[in-house]
């Protein structure tokens, strides 16, 4: 009898303990900012990433964006870091990222942020956080999504607010403005992903 009670109570305490900690942390991690300083849409696609930095307008007309290509080999055989899609974020600001997919299920994973979340076609996910340390952080797709899944890489650059604004200005100057969430699958070939003309060519309906 004492043994029976022992191996009923001990697992019960373990399971309830794990549940309590999970529920507590998950509630904190999953709380979304209603009015973030920075509102971003990250879109997964076979096999790269598009990033849209929303402005104030509801229709997205004052948004700026980049459209990425999958990882390219550098001359020495390594990954060409310079051509990877890059998400630029200002340090110490509240960030809310809307996670979308253009085709199949992907997963948005920034390794050093210790968090990842699926991008599911037709079901938008959100992730709110505050980047607190400047630097470059590696990200990748964490959901097997097809032939070049392993080339679905990106970098996150956390920079000062001035550098962030300068970066948005360079996108604006390059004419990369407007809402890209409405487009269907984009060409992922090098040299075509960020080209406005190609984007217009793949517009739906």
Q: Encode burial over 102-113: b for 16+ CB neighbours within 10 A, e otherwise.
A: bbbebbbbbeee
Is residue 154 within a helix (H) or strand (E), and if so which, with residue range? strand 153-159
Using the rule CB under 5 A, give the single segment among 60-68, 69-77, 90-98, 151-159 that binds Cu ion: 151-159
Position 87 contacts Cu ion (CB under 5 A): no
Tell me which of 42, 145, 151, 199 binds Cu ion, using CB under 5 A.
145
- Nearer to Cu ion by Cβ, of 41 and 64: the residue is 41
Using the rule CB under 5 A, give the single segment among 53-61, 84-92, 136-144, 164-172 that binds Cu ion: 136-144
Q: Contact 37/94 with Cβ under 8 angstroms?
A: yes
CA neighbours closer than 13 Å in the CB half-sphere of residue 82? 2
- Nearer to Cu ion by Cβ, of 70 and 177: the residue is 70
Tell me which of 95, 141, 151, 199 binds Cu ion, using CB under 5 A.
141
In the complex, least distance from residue 145 CB atom to Cu ion, rounded to whole angstroms: 3
- Nearer to Cu ion by Cβ, of 108 and 164: the residue is 108
Cα maximum dimension of the chain: 77
Distances (CA, A) of 192 to 13, 76, 94, 152, 188: 56, 24, 32, 16, 7
Contacts of 101 by beta carbon, 8 Å cutoff, 6+ apart = 43, 44, 45, 119, 120, 121
In the complex, least distance from residue 43 CB atom to Cu ion, rounded to whole angstroms: 11
d(CA 48, CA 142): 12
In the complex, least distance from residue 100 CB atom to Cu ion, rounded to whole angstroms: 12
Position 199 contacts Cu ion (CB under 5 A): no
Q: Contact 85/71 with Cβ under 8 angstroms?
A: no
In the complex, least distance from residue 170 CB atom to Cu ion, rounded to whole angstroms: 27
Q: Are strands 64-67 and 86-90 parallel, antiparallel or unpaired?
A: unpaired
Position 153 contacts Cu ion (CB under 5 A): no
Q: Tell me how many residues contact Cu ion (CB under 5 A).
A: 4
- Nearer to Cu ion by Cβ, of 97 and 152: the residue is 152
Position 106 contacts Cu ion (CB under 5 A): yes
Tell me which of 42, 64, 69, 152 binds Cu ion, using CB under 5 A.
152
Which residues are near Cu ion by CB under 5 A? 106, 141, 145, 152
């Amino acid at each position: 009898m004492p043994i029976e009670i022992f191996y009923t109570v001990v697992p019960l305490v373990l399971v309830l303990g794990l549940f309590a900690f999970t529920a507590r942390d998950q509630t904190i991690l999953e709380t979304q900012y209603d009015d973030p300083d920075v509102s971003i849409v990250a879109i997964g696609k076979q096999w790269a990433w598009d990033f849209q930095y929303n402005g104030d307008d509801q229709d997205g007309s004052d948004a700026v964006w980049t459209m990425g290509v999958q990882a390219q080999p550098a001359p020495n055989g390594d990954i060409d870091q310079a051509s990877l899609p890059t998400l630029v974020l200002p340090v110490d600001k509240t960030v809310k990222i809307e996670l979308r997919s253009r085709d199949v299920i992907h997963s948005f994973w920034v390794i050093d942020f210790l968090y990842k979340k699926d991008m599911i076609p037709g079901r938008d996910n959100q992730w709110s956080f505050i980047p607190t340390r400047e630097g470059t952080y590696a990200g990748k797709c964490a959901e097997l999504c097809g032939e070049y899944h392993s080339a679905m890489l990106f970098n996150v650059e956390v920079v000062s607010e001035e550098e962030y604004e300068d970066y948005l200005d360079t996108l604006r100057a390059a004419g990369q403005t407007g809402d890209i969430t409405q487009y269907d699958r984009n060409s992922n070939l090098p040299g075509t992903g960020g080209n406005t003309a190609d984007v217009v060519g793949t517009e739906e309906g």
